[in-house]
């Protein structure tokens, strides 16, 4: 029989946050696949685990993935862990989980800490519904698109960011959302220098421009409070009349209204020919 892949959440910083079940799992499995073996080694020593430790991260080769799958296929149990928190959340572990499931390997969660929930819990910002965006792209169209999504989101938005880029992110959010939007910057959660600072985007952008943060950072931004109204597609018949009056061919009109309104091309051709 195949082994089991355990997806094990580990402490964000404070080792006392490791659950007894997680500790027992790390001691019981044959192998621990870790994003950062140096940090995980400390955790394994803490719990007394003698499991084999191997590196598995975003830049691991296919050979590493196949090695883990081979272990599982031969009946060995493997624990997947990330640097800190819950694996596969803004983390490359989802690739391994999907590959294991494709081979009918049992995948079991050992839940625990996650920076997303931890930051939301101390933010004072509604978490009834929220959108998690992980790390935003460094620049370009994708970054602008996601900043616009934050600005328009009816719900709270949670992001991760590297400490040296927090001031830049807050400045971009201030531009996109307006300076009055409420936000929270949570850093070093559960660690000695834990800090949660709340304020408007203008206040936070100014503060962190003068005092760059250290450690792992989670940013929480309040929602707009307004539902985004989707623009309704144009009426196919009225749109067809306008395009025909502009001198377009029937074929081109049919193609365009099919694209603009979402109706099938056959329906569009029939509608145009009936006009």
Phi and psi at 130, nearest 5°, equal -150, 160
- Provide the 8-state DSSP code for 74: T
Quickly list H helices, 74-177: 94-102, 115-123, 140-152, 166-177
- Sign of the alpha-carbon torsion through 156, 213, 89, 85: negative
Q: What's the pTM value of the predicted model, to 2 decimals?
A: 0.79
Quickly list H helices, 153-189: 166-177
Summary mean pLDDT of the chain: 93
Residue 200 confidence (pLDDT) above 90: yes
8 sits in the region (left: phi over 0; alpha: psi -120 to 50; else beta) called beta
Say if CB 163 and CB 214 are below 8 A apart. Answer: yes
Q: What percent of the chain has pLDDT over 70?
A: 98
Say if 230 falls within a structural domain: no
User: Which CATH number do you get for residue 125?
Assistant: 3.30.950.10
For residue 140, the enclosing domain spans 116-221
Q: Tell me what pLDDT residue 81 has.
A: 97
Residues 156-171 have pLDDT tens digits of 999 999 999 999 999 9
User: Which CATH number do you get for residue 20?
Assistant: 3.40.1010.10
Q: Where are the beta strands (DSSP E) in 67-122?
A: 78-81, 106-110
What's the domain count of the chain?
A: 3
Say if CB 150 and CB 173 are below 8 A apart. Answer: yes
* Direct distance between the N- and C-terminal alpha carbons of the chain, in angstroms, rounded to an integer: 66
Asked whether residue 160 falls in the same domain as residue 97, the answer is no
**CA 259 from centroid of its chain's CA atoms:** 31
């Amino acid at each position: 029989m195949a082994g089991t892949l355990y997806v094990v959440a580990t402490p964000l910083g404070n080792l006392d946050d490791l659950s007894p079940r997680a500790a027992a799992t790390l001691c019981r499995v044959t192998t621990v696949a870790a994003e950062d073996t140096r940090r995980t080694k400390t955790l394994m020593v803490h719990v007394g685990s003698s499991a084999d430790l191997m590196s598995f991260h975003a830049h691991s080769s296919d050979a590493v993935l196949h090695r883990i799958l081979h272990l599982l296929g031969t009946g060995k149990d493997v624990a997947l862990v990330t640097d800190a928190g819950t694996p596969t959340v803004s983390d490359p572990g989802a690739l391994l989980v999907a590959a294991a499931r494709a081979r009918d390997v049992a995948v079991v969660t050992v839940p625990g800490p996650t920076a997303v929930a931890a930051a939301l819990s101390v933010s004072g910002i509604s978490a009834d519904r929220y959108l998690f965006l992980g790390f935003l792209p460094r620049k370009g169209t994708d970054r602008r698109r996601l900043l616009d999504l934050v600005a328009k989101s009816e719900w709270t938005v949670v992001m991760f960011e590297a400490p040296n880029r927090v001031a830049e992110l807050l400045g971009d959010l201030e531009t996109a959302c307006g300076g009055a939007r409420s936000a929270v910057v949570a850093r070093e959660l559960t660690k000695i220098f834990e800090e949660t600072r709340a304020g408007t985007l203008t206040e936070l952008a100014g503060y962190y421009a003068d005092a760059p943060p250290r450690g792992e950072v989670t940013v929480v931004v309040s929602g707009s409070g307004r539902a985004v109204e989707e623009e309704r597609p144009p009426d196919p018949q009225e749109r067809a009349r306008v395009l025909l009056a502009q001198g377009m061919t029937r074929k081109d009109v049919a193609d365009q209204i099919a694209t603009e309104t979402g109706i099938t091309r056959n329906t569009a051709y029939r509608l145009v020919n009936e006009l």
